[in-house]
C-alpha cells in the first residue's frame, strides 16, 4: 500500500477518484509532488490530532477530521492528491495567484474525504507555519490565533452543508503562509497599497486627504464608475492629476477638485506603499475595546517581529465600511464606531452589495420582503433597499502617525 501511492501516475489517480475537467491542471508538475507522499502519510498517522488542536480546532472538529484519516491512508489515490495539493499550496505558492482554479474541490461523491481535503492540506502545514513564526520570535498563542480561521470556516461549512468540512482555501492560505497575523480581535496583512489614490498629510495640522490618481472614471456621487455592477444613470467624470514642483492639483476621493501646496502637504501614501490591511474574522461582535487593543498592539508587534515591514497606514475594505451604515445605524453600533476610526474612500474594485447578502443574510438573495428582518442591522439594510437605496463595499485608511487612543 505504502509504495503504491508514491508510484501512482496522474491518470490512474484521476480515474480512481473520478476527477474531471476542473482537475486537469493538477496534471502539470504531478511528478514533482511525489516527494510529499511519505511525509504526509507519517504526519497523518502520528501528528494529525495534535496539529489540529494547535490550529485551534474544537474537539468535535478534530474528531471529524480524524475519522477521515483512514480514507487517506487506505486509498493511495487520495493520499497522492493530498500530496499534490500540499505541493501546490506550500512548495510553489508563487505560481498560485489568488483565486487560482488549481485549488479545485474534490468531487462530492468522495463524501467526507472531499469535505476534508483542504482541512488536511492546511493542517499538514501547521508544523511549517509554527516553525516560520518561531523563527520570527512570535508566540505559539499568536500562531494558533492566526490559524483559527480554519475552525471559523469549518463552522461556516457545517452551518451551510450540515456536516463538517472546510473549503475556504483561497482565503485561508494566507494564514498558513506567513502573510497575515491575528492580534486579538483583528487580523493584519502587510501588503502594497493597491488602490489608485495618493494620501497626503498636512505638515502642521496633521489633517489628511486623498487624491485620485489620473484617469479614474468616477460618478457624480463620488463612487467609481464600476460600482453597483456598473449600472447607474449618473454623470461620469475622469480624474486628472497635475503636478508642479510646488503644488498638485486633482480630484479628492469622492470627486471634489482641489489643489494642494506641497509646502503645506506631504505625500505619505502612493500605490505600492506598504500598508496593513485589516480583516475581521467572524468570531463575535466587533467590540471597540478589543479592536483598540489590537490596533495598539500592531505597531509594537510588527516592529518586533517583522522589522522589514515599514508600513504607513491601516487600510480596511468591507461591506460594513459603507459610510451609509454610519448614517443609518445607531452611533453605538460596533461597526459605526469602527468605521469612524478611518477616513473614508470609495472602494475602487467594483463596490457592490454582494458581500452584504453573503455576510448578513447567509448568502440568501431576493426581494427585501422575502429576507429576514429580525435585527437592527437587517431591518436597516432591507428598509433602505425598499426605498431604492443601494449598499456597497466601502473602504478607509488610518495613517500610522495618527494617534491611537487606547
Ligand atoms: C462585523 C461583525 C463582527 C459586526 O458585528 P457586531 O459587532 O455585532 O455589529 P454591530 O454592533 O455594529 O451591530 C449590531 C446589530 O447588528 C446585527 N448584526 C451585526 N452583524 C450582523 C451580521 N453579520 N448578520 C446579521 N446581523 C448582524 C446584530 O445582531 C445587532 O442587532 P441588534 O441590535 O438587533 O441586536 C459581524 O457582522 C460579523 O461577524 N461579520 C462576519 C465577519 C465579516 O463580515 N468580516 C468582514 C469581512 S470583509
Q: Which residues line ligand 1 at a C-beta cut-off of 6 Å? A: 280, 282, 285-286, 318-320, 333-335, 359-360, 375-378
pLDDT above 70: residue 199: yes
Residues 123 and 185 in one domain: no
Asked whether residue 383 is domain-assigned, the answer is no
- Structural domains counted in the chain: 2
Residues 151 and 250 in one domain: no
Give the distance (Å) from ligand 1 centre to CA of residue 31. 46
Minimum CA distance residue for ligand 1 atom 41: 282
**Residue 279 neighbours by CB under 8 Å, 6+ apart:** 180, 186, 187, 188, 189
Mutate to test the pocket of ligand 1, among 322, 375, 381 (most ligand atoms within 8 A of CB): 375
Which is the closest atom of ligand 1 to the Cα of 319? 48
Asked whether residue 381 is domain-assigned, the answer is no
pLDDT above 50: residue 1: no
Instruction: Quote the pTM value.
Output: 0.94
**Residue 343 neighbours by CB under 8 Å, 6+ apart:** 208, 210, 396, 397, 398
For 168, other C-beta atoms within 10 Å of its C-beta total: 16
**Type and span of the H or E element at 302:** helix 288-305
Give the distance (Å) from ligand 1 centre to CA of residue 379. 12
Give the distance (Å) from ligand 1 centre to CA of residue 65. 30
Asked whether residue 358 is domain-assigned, the answer is no
Residues 164 and 233 in one domain: no
pLDDT above 60: residue 324: yes
- CA-to-CA dists, residue 384 to 62, 233, 327, 341, 390, angstroms: 42, 19, 12, 24, 7
Asked whether residue 274 is domain-assigned, the answer is yes
Which is the closest atom of ligand 1 to the Cα of 286? 7
- Residue recorded with cell 495618493: 198
Q: What is the largest CA-CA distance in the chain?
A: 74
Among residues 131, 176, 114, 128, the alpha carbon closest in space to that of 150 is found at: 176
Residues 162 and 212 in one domain: no
Mean pLDDT along residues 318-337: 97
Band of residue 405 on the pLDDT scale cut at 50, 70, 90: very low
Give the end of a domain, one of 155, 179, 203: 179
Mutate to test the pocket of ligand 1, among 168, 189, 285, 339 (most ligand atoms within 8 A of CB): 285
Interval 12-31: pLDDT, tens: 999 999 999 999 999 999 99
Interval 354-378: pLDDT, tens: 999 999 999 999 999 999 999 999 9
Domain that holds residue 163: 2-179
Band of residue 404 on the pLDDT scale cut at 50, 70, 90: low
Mean pLDDT along residues 281-293: 96
Give the distance (Å) from ligand 1 centre to CA of residue 300. 28
Mean pLDDT along residues 323-346: 97
For 244, other C-beta atoms within 10 Å of its C-beta total: 9
Asked whether residue 250 is domain-assigned, the answer is yes
CATH assignment at residue 322: 3.40.630
**Type and span of the H or E element at 237:** strand 236-238
Residues 230 and 325 in one domain: yes
Residues 204 and 310 in one domain: yes
Predicted local distance difference test score (pLDDT) of residue 5: 81
Residue-averaged pLDDT of the chain: 95
Asked whether residue 366 is domain-assigned, the answer is no
Predicted local distance difference test score (pLDDT) of residue 4: 77
Q: Which three cell numbers stand for residue 358?
A: 453573503
Residues 317 and 337 in one domain: yes
Q: Which three cell numbers stand for residue 65?
A: 477530521
Residues 325 and 401 in one domain: yes
Give the end of a domain, one of 138, 164, 179: 179
Predicted local distance difference test score (pLDDT) of residue 402: 65
Give the distance (Å) from ligand 1 centre to CA of residue 152. 15
How far apart are alpha carbons 397 and 342 in whole angstroms? 5
Residues 124 and 256 in one domain: no
Give the end of a domain, one of 157, 179, 201: 179
Interval 337-349: pLDDT, tens: 999 999 999 999 9
Give the distance (Å) from ligand 1 centre to CA of residue 285. 6
Give the distance (Å) from ligand 1 centre to CA of residue 153. 17
Residue 109, Cβ density class (10 Å: 0-12 exposed, 13-18 middle, ≥19 buried): exposed
Amino acid at each position: 500500500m505504502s509504495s503504491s501511492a508514491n508510484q501512482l501516475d496522474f491518470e490512474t489517480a484521476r480515474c480512481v477518484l473520478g476527477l474531471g475537467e476542473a482537475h486537469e491542471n493538477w496534471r502539470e508538475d504531478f511528478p514533482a509532488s511525489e516527494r510529499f507522499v511519505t511525509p504526509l502519510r507519517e504526519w497523518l498517522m502520528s501528528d494529525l490530532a495534535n496539529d489540529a488542536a494547535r490550529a485551534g480546532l474544537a474537539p468535535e472538529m478534530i474528531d471529524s477530521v480524524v475519522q477521515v484519516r483512514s480514507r487517506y491512508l487506505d486509498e493511495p489515490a487520495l493520499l497522492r492528491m493530498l500530496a499534490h495539493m500540499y505541493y501546490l499550496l506550500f512548495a510553489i505558492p508563487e505560481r498560485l495567484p489568488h483565486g487560482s482554479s488549481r485549488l479545485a474541490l474534490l468531487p462530492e461523491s468522495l463524501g467526507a474525504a472531499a469535505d476534508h481535503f483542504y482541512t488536511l492540506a492546511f493542517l499538514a502545514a501547521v508544523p511549517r507555519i509554527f516553525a516560520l513564526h518561531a523563527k520570527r520570535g512570535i508566540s505559539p498563542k499568536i500562531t494558533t490565533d492566526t490559524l483559527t480561521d480554519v475552525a471559523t470556516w469549518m463552522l461556516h461549512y457545517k452551518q451551510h452543508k450540515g456536516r463538517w468540512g472546510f473549503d475556504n482555501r483561497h482565503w485561508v492560505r494566507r494564514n498558513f503562509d506567513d502573510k497575515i497575523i491575528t492580534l486579538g480581535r483583528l487580523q493584519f496583512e502587510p501588503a502594497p497599497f493597491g488602490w489608485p489614490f495618493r494620501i497626503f498629510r498636512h505638515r502642521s495640522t496633521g489633517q489628511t486627504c486623498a487624491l485620485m490618481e489620473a484617469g479614474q472614471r468616477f460618478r457624480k456621487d463620488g463612487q467609481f464608475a464600476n460600482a453597483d455592477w456598473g449600472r447607474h444613470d449618473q454623470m461620469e467624470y475622469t480624474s486628472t492629476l497635475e503636478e508642479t514642483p510646488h503644488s498638485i492639483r486633482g480630484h479628492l476621493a469622492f470627486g471634489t477638485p482641489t489643489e494642494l501646496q506641497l509646502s503645506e502637504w506631504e505625500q505619505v501614501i502612493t500605490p505600492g506603499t506598504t500598508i496593513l490591511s485589516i480583516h475581521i474574522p467572524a468570531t463575535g461582535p466587533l467590540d471597540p475595546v478589543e479592536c483598540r487593543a489590537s490596533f495598539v498592539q500592531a505597531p509594537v508587534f510588527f516592529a518586533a517581529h517583522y522589522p522589514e515591514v515599514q508600513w504607513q497606514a491601516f487600510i480596511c475594505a468591507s461591506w460594513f465600511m459603507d459610510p451609509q451604515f454610519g448614517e443609518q445605524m445607531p452611533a453605538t453600533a460596533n461597526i459605526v464606531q469602527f468605521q469612524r476610526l478611518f477616513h473614508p474612500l470609495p472602494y475602487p474594485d467594483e463596490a457592490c452589495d454582494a458581500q452584504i447578502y453573503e455576510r448578513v443574510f447567509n448568502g440568501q438573495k431576493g426581494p427585501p420582503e422575502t429576507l429576514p428582518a429580525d435585527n437592527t442591522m437587517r431591518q436597516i439594510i432591507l428598509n433602505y433597499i425598499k426605498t431604492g437605496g443601494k449598499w456597497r463595499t466601502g473602504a478607509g485608511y488610518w495613517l500610522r502617525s495618527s494617534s491611537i487612543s487606547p
